[in-house]
């Protein structure tokens, strides 16, 4: 059985499966903290929500990429991935806090593409910083 877990295909499938599961959980958490419903807005064609959500997906994926590269067990990879996600979530709240003139969620829901784009870039940029620390 030990040889089974050393097979690169099995290891890759394991990392992939766990990362997808974490991605679903993390997107559900982001859905809870935003004032709009991501998938409803995307279905309506709201490009700002699509950009912000895409940035979150890319950000979480990039964090897991670094976590997989740097750690040798599934549990350690998940632990660092969760830690990275929490940091990304904190970055989202800091972004909201640093823009007191307008509400990020309301602007994204109104399809303000400039805010959606900057939200995406912040998620992607922070994921590189977080990943470097992992």
Residues 89-106: tens digit of each pLDDT: 999 999 989 998 889 999
Chain segment 69-84, per-residue pLDDT in tens: 988 788 899 999 999 9
% of residues, the chain, pLDDT over 90: 80
The candidate with the shortest Cα–Cα distance to 71, out of 15, 29, 16, is 15
Chain segment 2-18, per-residue pLDDT in tens: 676 678 898 889 899 99
Residue 126 and residue 59 in contact, taking contact as beta carbons nearer than 8 Å? yes
Chain segment 109-118, per-residue pLDDT in tens: 999 999 999 9
**Tokens standing for residue 22:** 């974490």
**Which residue shows structure tokens 């660092």?**
80
Question: Roughly how many angstroms between the first and final C-alpha of the chain, as a whole number?
Answer: 30
Q: Where are the domains of the chain?
A: 2-133
Cα separation, 19 vs 53, whole angstroms:
17
Cα separation, 50 vs 35, whole angstroms:
15
pLDDT of amino acid 53: 96
């Amino acid at each position: 059985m030990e040889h089974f877990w050393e097979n690169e295909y099995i290891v890759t499938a394991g990392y992939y499966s766990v990362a997808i599961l974490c991605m679903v959980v993390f997107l559900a958490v982001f859905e809870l903290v935003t004032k709009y419903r991501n998938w409803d807005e995307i279905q309506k064609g709201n490009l700002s929500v699509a950009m912000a959500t895409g940035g979150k997906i890319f950000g979480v994926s990039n964090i897991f990429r670094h976590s997989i590269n740097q750690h040798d067990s599934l549990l350690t990879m998940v632990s660092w991935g969760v830690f990275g996600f929490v940091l990304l979530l904190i970055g989202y709240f800091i972004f909201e806090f640093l823009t007191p003139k307008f509400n990020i969620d309301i602007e994204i829901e109104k399809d303000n593409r400039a805010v959606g784009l900057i939200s995406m870039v912040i998620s992607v940029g922070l994921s590189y910083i977080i990943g470097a620390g992992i």
